[in-house]
């Protein structure tokens, strides 16, 4: 090995020590963030979506903070259910997702929306199984160069529902009370 080759090799090794691996350099795309949520719910229906610390890291800092504050308000001891009493990923109490597909509906440099269309099958319906097709919209923001989930929008019993609006309502004492809630400002 020549002196020049050794210098070039040493420089390349030194430079690689300061360079992150390719997977860490490239921010994951929004669909690639949503897919594992559905994969894990299908694999283990008892594991609620956004129930783990790893799942919560997928949220923007502001959404994670809002969720923590709402959880602390409704469950100060940490022994009961928190601010969300159902699985947001499957929009149900008992996840039974059989299939799903993802589609990026909109995207620019700072925002993206991914629609997750999923099919759930429930046993015990009056005539056997009930098949339900639903759509969840995941609104993403770029935060520190990475895509993060800022909101999840669903339809519950024909009414629009949004994670952010729900958590804000919990903090305003509107959930679980007899008082009507004012719309968020």
- C-alpha closest to that of 60 among 179, 127, 147: 147
| pLDDT computed for residue 185 by the predictor | 39
Give the pLDDT score at 150: 98
Domains in the chain, ordered, with CATH?
27-171 (3.10.450.50)
Confidence band for 126, pLDDT divided at 50, 70 and 90: low
% pLDDT > 70, the chain: 76
In this predicted structure, which of 7-11, 50-54, 56-60, 71-75 has the lowest mean pLDDT? 7-11
For position 38, what pLDDT does the model report?
Answer: 94
CA separation for the pair 163, 185 (Å, rounded)? 16
The band of 146, judged by pLDDT with boundaries at 50, 70 and 90, is: very high
Q: What is the pLDDT of residue 174?
A: 65
Q: Tell whether the model's pLDDT for residue 1 goes beyond 80.
A: no
The confidence band for 68, taking pLDDT boundaries of 50, 70 and 90, is very high
Q: Are 170 and 82 in contact (CB under 8 A)?
A: no
Neighbours of 97 (CB within 10 A): 23
**Over pLDDT 90: what percentage of the chain?**
47
Q: How much is the pLDDT for 85? A: 85
């Amino acid at each position: 090995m020549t002196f020049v080759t050794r210098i070039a090799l040493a420089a390349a090794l030194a430079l690689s020590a300061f360079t992150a691996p390719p997977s860490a350099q490239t921010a994951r795309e929004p669909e690639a963030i949503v897919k594992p949520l559905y994969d894990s719910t299908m694999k283990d229906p008892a594991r609620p979506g956004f129930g783990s610390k790893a799942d919560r890291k997928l949220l923007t800092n502001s959404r994670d903070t809002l969720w923590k504050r709402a959880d602390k308000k409704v469950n100060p001891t940490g022994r009961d259910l928190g601010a969300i009493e159902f699985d947001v990923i499957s929009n149900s109490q008992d996840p039974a997702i059989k299939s799903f597909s993802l589609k990026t509906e909109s995207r620019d440099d700072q925002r993206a929306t991914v629609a997750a269309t999923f099919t759930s099958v429930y046993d015990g319906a009056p005539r056997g199984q009930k098949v339900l097709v639903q759509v969840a919209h995941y609104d993403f923001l770029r935060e520190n160069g990475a895509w993060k989930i800022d909101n999840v929008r669903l339809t519950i019993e024909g009414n629009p529902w949004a994670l952010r609006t729900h958590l804000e309502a919990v903090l305003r004492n509107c959930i679980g009370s007899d008082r009507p809630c004012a719309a968020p400002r």
